[in-house]
Chains A and B, each alone.
Chain A
Amino acid sequence: MDFVFQTEGLTKRYGNFLALDGLSMHVQGGAIYGFVGRNGAGKTTLIRLLCGLQEPSSGSFTLFGVQSGSRDMADARRRIGAVVETPALYMDMTAEENLRQQYLILGLPSYEGIRELLQLVGLSDTGRKKVRHFSLGMKQRLGIAVALAGDPDFLVLDEPANGLDPQGIVEIRELILKLNRERQVTFLISSHILDELSRLATHYGIIDHGRMVRELSAGELEAECRKCLHLEVTSISVLSRLLDGMGLDYKILSDTEADVYARVSPTDLVLALSAENCQVLSMQEKDQNLEGYFLSLVGGDAS
């Protein structure tokens, strides 16, 4: 499989605090990878290591196939655009001047494309207004525009929806989807707004206490979160036979538990099982979204 970024046993320690604990993750080329975790789970630390702002304590990663610590890593990093925590901006400059700075830093031959970038993020009419007078959402959008300068192949966005109003969130979502589809830009997005992330991501990585709890594709997540009837019965073989006979989709979880993925009348099912001498011990309807799934994995409050 073609991975843009993957880590192996990545560890970062600050004194006694273990921010990343042997983290392994895999970001496929062309994916929109949703990076989910509580505050302090290690999301931003991982992004800092990826961007070369900090060095790992142990473990390694590859970026575009280049091993960490290699001399070619600088070239690989030049293919990244990033917004880490807060957008990278000079407050006493205009939006256009900030982009010009980024163009100079990247050594781009001309300022062509700046207007297009400003238009893309909806800031083309800010004129001589200094960034210090921008709203949080405008700064966020300009930060994304700065990260997009130089047409990166891999865009890392740390909480991109921070400070954006609903309209801004929709615009950024559409921008991400457009870049992903039209320019095949790979995204790594960390976000707390799980509902928003679930509208974008093609893959998920769920991190807790510096460890990867689960990596899965959007399809796998959908399968795991499908609306279902969770049954606990005395005989799973009877239940299985009965469901096969009804032509229903189901998944056996243990000797006594199964999930049934279909609209089925609980009364009819209980009566049918009872007729076969199988008792229903419990029955529960499950309807999870990403947030519920995340909480079921890491437990507690999603914040």
Chain B
Amino acid sequence: MIRLMRADLVRLVKSRAFGLSLAGMLALSAAFMVMQATAMDYSVPLSRVIFLPMSMYGVAAAALVSVFAGDDFSGGFIRMKLLAVRRRSSYVLSQIFVSCTACAALYTAATVFTAAIGRFFFENNVMASDLVRFYLLGVSMSLTCGALFAAVTLLLGEKTRAVVVCMASAFGMLFLAMHTNSLLVQDRYKDGVLNPKYVGGIRRMVYGILHDLNPCGQAAQLSTWEVPHPIRVLLLNLLLTAALTVLCCRLFERKNIN
């Protein structure tokens, strides 16, 4: 497994998909900063800018992982890898590890870039401890994205289908996050009266869990610098990453490879 990880990490660094995703996220970060600095008629604090590019992170991660992991299938190198490993699960674990690393690197690069540039243009209201806390939550979010898209790609076993399904999933998660976010941000009272759009009780709890479970929902929370249940988010991410890894190992074990 270590051999495959080393090989894939070397490949990741040279990968066009990684370079393009990175460039895309940095360009997106720059565009968001310009928009926030110029289009708003009020002073935007740095905290509201740092994680803003993460709203499109799911789509970038889906493209990166499906193309990178899918290259093994389209190029046929998976055959050489399966010949070289003792168990197929070693291949799955190495792919998920490298995909998670790629997603975490993409996330880190975009966050560091936005924070480093943004502090010159926005009011710096960021406490270092909060930044570290939110950054780590974002890392767990990126691990979930990596595991999810890697599992989808490996189980589909074909690059083009993987790219389509992963991108569709990413947009699906994005729209779901927008929906759940619009429900959860409603105040209970509006102008002194009960807000009819406010969702309470069990439904609020279910929407809350759904929002926390969805990486794009987490990105929405990070971008507003408000994460009401950080421990729950962290646990859900770890649980989802572990479950996806185990499931993918089990299903991939008996998959026919062409």
Contact = CB atoms under 8 A, between A and B. Distances in A.
Nearest to A94: B14
Interface residues of B, number: 28
A54 to B, nearest CB: 5
A135 interface: no
Contacts of B258: 48, 53, 85
Nearest to B74: A91
A100 B14 CA distance: 13
B83 A82 contact: yes
Interface in B209-258: 254, 256-258
A86 B82 contact: no
A93 B14 contact: yes
Interface in A92-106: 92-93, 97, 100-102, 104-106
Nearest to A88: B76
Given A101-B7, A102-B80, A89 B75 contact: yes
Nearest to A79: B83
Nearest to B15: A92
A133 interface: no
A289 to B, nearest CB: 32
Contacts of A14: 256
B10 A88 contact: no
Given A48-B257, A104-B6, A97 B14 contact: yes
B116 interface: no
Interface residues of A, number: 32
B181 to A, nearest CB: 37
Contacts of A74: 85-87
Contacts of B77: 88-90, 101
Given A85-B76, A89-B76, A78 B15 contact: no
A59 B61 CA distance: 43
Interface string B3-26: 110110011001110000000000
A161 B230 CA distance: 59
Nearest to B2: A107
Nearest to A52: B82
Contacts of A55: 254, 256
A77 interface: yes
Q: Which interface residue of B4, B7, B15, B83 has the most chain A CB atoms within 10 A?
A: B83
Contacts of B6: 104
Interface of B: 3-4, 6-7, 10-11, 14-16, 71, 74-87, 254, 256-258
29 contacts: A48-B257, A48-B258, A51-B79, A52-B82, A52-B83, A53-B79, A53-B82, A53-B257, A53-B258, A78-B83, A82-B79, A82-B83, A84-B76, A84-B79, A85-B76, A87-B76, A88-B75, A88-B77, A88-B79, A89-B76, A91-B75, A92-B15, A93-B11, A101-B7, A101-B10, A101-B77, A104-B7, A105-B4, A105-B81
Q: Which 9 A-B pairs have the closest CB atoms?
A: A104-B7, A88-B76, A53-B257, A74-B86, A107-B3, A54-B256, A88-B77, A105-B7, A88-B80
